[in-house]
Amino acid sequence: MKLFFSIFKLTILVLATVSISRIAFAADPAGVILKVSGETRISAASGELRAAVKKGRVYVGDTLKTGLKAQAFVMMNDKTRMIVRENSEVLIEAFVYEKRDTDKQSTTLLKGALRSISGEIGKLTPKNVNYKAATATIGIRGTDIDVAIIGEGQADRAGVYNYVRDGMTEVELASGERALVEREKAGFIPDNPKPGEPLLQILDDRPAFLSNSGFDTLMKQLTNPRVPSIR
């Protein structure tokens, strides 16, 4: 009987330890905010709201929300760099970085626009990285991309855009259409396609929503740091 209770206590202790470890793992940050401007908030999976601040952590399940003339620059643990543009909402849906083939990253654009440059996961296991916007899922191939959801009344036609600054992406719709988007081209899914118009299109022209700011300058500096001259 004593042996039975000893085994029982040991089992409970092991289960408690595993549970605590899982909770701790779930709470591990997925990235950090390097720069933020304007009114920017983070909505956690629990519904809790907090201000987005420099050096603040971001977690799986967080939604970053920027206001008018606000932006946020996030560096994920695998060195993925992401800019959340003004009036945007971006959900960190999934992020696992253990330097294994099972690493994955999934980011959903709910509103507005973002720019992202691939980190280690995108370089080593690109098939495990995707970005989602409306009905589109965007797979990457070592990329520097912009994703935007454009509404009516703007310079660009309303719809979802995926502009590729460098590398290549594959855009797939929920309806099954898919296409490769090459460098300096844009994938486009119109909100209200005309009769006979393709649901997924490749545009040669640069979309009007694309912009560059101090956040993009920081991204460039982190991506291509200057090599000190040797004297």
Average pLDDT, the chain: 89
Higher pLDDT, 87 or 225: 87
- Lowest average pLDDT, out of 1-5, 48-52, 112-116, 180-184, goes to 1-5
As a CATH number, domain 2-223 is 2.60.120.1440
CA distance 84 to 228: 31
pLDDT exceeds cutoff 90 at 44? yes
The answer to whether 93 and 60 have CB atoms below 8 angstroms apart is: yes
pLDDT exceeds cutoff 90 at 16? no
- Category of 155 on φ-ψ map: left (φ > 0), alpha (ψ -120 to 50) or beta: alpha
Q: What pLDDT was estimated at residue 22?
A: 39
Tell me the residue ranges of DSSP E strands in the chain. 31-37, 40-43, 49-51, 57-58, 63-66, 71-76, 81-84, 89-96, 104-117, 129-133, 136-140, 144-150, 159-166, 169-173, 178-181, 186-190, 201-203
> Over the stretch 57-97, which tens digit does the pLDDT of each residue have?
999 999 999 999 999 999 999 999 999 999 999 999 999 99
Q: pLDDT-derived band of residue 27, with 50, 70 and 90 as boundaries?
A: low
Output DSSP code: residue 91: E
For the chain, which residues make up each domain, given as ranges?
2-223
Helix, strand, coil shares, percent, the chain, to 5:
20, 40, 40
CA distance 93 to 62: 8
Q: Is 204 helix (H, G, I), strand (E, B) or coil?
A: coil
The answer to whether 88 and 72 have CB atoms below 8 angstroms apart is: no
